[in-house]
């Protein structure tokens, strides 16, 4: 029996509607796959960040009552001499760590990029600091710096650079405590930087190096004009990552010095911890955390922007 005209039109409408729904589903189905990730971001990142901003404008009493104080917490942070010292310590800490990690990682990567006897064993030993648990590595360095039983004082005494009767407290000296912790941090982080840079070096086409040698380039010229330029994106990424990790480097300082002596090794994150758990001042600690967040975000955005401008020719190297 032949189908009526109305039936055919109805079937066409259904097909059109179904195709539109299919197109809409294909367009928006991807958002559904992001829902679990967006939920995790909202719960573990967005909400804590919002709460930190909110608490930075409040004064929280011991009984949990809250009082709006406006920018008083930020004013207290700016006027505090301890916080200013902590900010200076944080800047010095980041500069020492990033410089040591990048330069040390680059030197080790250059060594591993050469062929020599025992290279495999050397690479295994280079991985040990990175594979060692942080607390175990930190406690090892605490023992090395120990004024009575430490290996550093024993070595200096054995070569005549120190009187064994006058043991030196490396972590107890306000001028050397932050440097001592920074050396431990560089030791634990160099393997990651070295192997990341080595991977970038191995990705350089050998033809480029051979062409540079044929053109009369020496080892230093090839490194400066070819190798360094091609591994620059990796170096930029490492500088950003090590800066963030150093800025938030709580564990080493907390275990080795606790921020002392006399706040000489205290940085922002350890001071935030102190204001939350030792002195119950969550409003002040939240204000410090907000400042920490904006410093990191601004520095990272600025550094990445300058690097992208340099790659595209907007800035000259």
Please give the average per-residue pLDDT across 187-210, as a whole number.
Answer: 92
Query: Which range, of 30-34, 150-154, 158-162, 179-183, averages the lowest pLDDT?
Result: 30-34
User: What pLDDT shows up at residue 191?
Assistant: 93
Question: Do 159 and 88 share a domain, yes or no?
Answer: yes
User: Between the CA atoms of 246, 247, 251 and 257, what dihedral angle is there, to the nearest 10 degrees?
Assistant: 100
Q: Are residues 17 and 155 in the same domain?
A: no
Residues 21 and 110 in one domain: no
- Residue 150 belongs to domain spanning: 76-311
Instruction: Identify the pLDDT of residue 270.
Output: 92
- The DSSP code for 58 is E
d(CA 29, CA 99): 46
One domain for residues 45 and 111:
no
Whether residues 49 and 116 fall in one domain: no
The per-residue pLDDT for range 261-298, each reduced to its tens digit, is 889 999 999 999 998 888 888 888 899 999 888 888 88
Residues 174 and 210 both lie in one domain = yes
Find the helix or strand (DSSP H, E) in which 145 lies.
helix 134-145
pLDDT greater than 50 at residue 123: yes
What is the domain-level CATH number for residue 250? 1.10.3720.10
Task: Give the per-residue pLDDT at 14.
Answer: 43
What pLDDT does 317 receive? 39
- At residue 8, does pLDDT exceed 60? no
Q: Looking at the structure, do residues 50 and 80 belong to the same domain, yes or no?
A: no
For residue 105, is it within any domain? yes
pLDDT at 180: 93
| 67: in domain | no
Q: If you average pLDDT over residues 88-96, what whole number do you get? A: 95
Task: Kindly state whether residues 179 and 219 are assigned to the same domain.
Answer: yes
3-state secondary structure of 59: strand
212/219 Cα distance (integer angstroms): 10
User: Do 147 and 288 share a domain, yes or no?
Assistant: yes
Reply yes or no on whether the pLDDT at 11 is more than 90.
Answer: no
Number of domains into which the chain is organized: 2
């Amino acid at each position: 029996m032949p189908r009526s005209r109305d039936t055919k039109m109805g079937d066409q409408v259904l097909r059109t509607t179904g195709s539109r729904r299919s197109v809409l589903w294909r367009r928006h189905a991807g958002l559904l796959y992001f829902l679990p990730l967006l939920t995790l971001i909202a719960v573990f990142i967005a909400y804590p960040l919002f709460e930190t901003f909110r608490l930075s404008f409040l004064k929280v009493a011991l009984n949990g009552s809250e009082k709006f104080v406006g920018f008083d917490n930020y004013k207290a942070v700016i006027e505090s001499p301890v916080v200013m010292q902590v900010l200076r310590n944080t800047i010095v800490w980041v500069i020492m760590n990033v410089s040591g990690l990048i330069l040390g990682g680059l030197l080790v990567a250059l060594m591993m990029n050469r062929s020599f006897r025992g290279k495999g064993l050397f690479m295994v030993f280079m991985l040990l600091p990175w594979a060692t648990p942080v607390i175990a590595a930190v406690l090892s360095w605490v023992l090395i710096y120990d004024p009575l039983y430490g290996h550093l004082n024993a070595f200096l005494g054995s070569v005549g650079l120190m009187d064994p009767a006058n043991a030196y407290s490396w972590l107890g000296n306000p001028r050397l405590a932050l440097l001592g912790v920074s050396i431990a941090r560089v030791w634990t982080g160099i393997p990651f930087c070295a192997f990341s840079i080595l991977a970038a070096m191995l990705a350089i086409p050998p033809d480029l190096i051979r062409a540079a040698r044929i053109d009369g380039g020496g080892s230093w010229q090839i490194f400066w004009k070819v190798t360094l330029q091609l591994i620059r994106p990796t170096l930029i990424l490492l500088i950003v990552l090590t800066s963030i990790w150093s800025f938030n480097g709580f564990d080493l300082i907390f275990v080795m010095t606790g921020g002392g002596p006399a706040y000489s090794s205290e940085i922002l994150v350890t001071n935030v911890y102190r204001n939350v758990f030792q002195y119950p001042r969550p409003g002040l600690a939240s204000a410090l955390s907000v400042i920490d967040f904006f410093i990191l975000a601004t520095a990272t955005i600025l550094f990445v922007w300058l690097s992208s401008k340099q790659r595209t020719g907007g800035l000259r190297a």
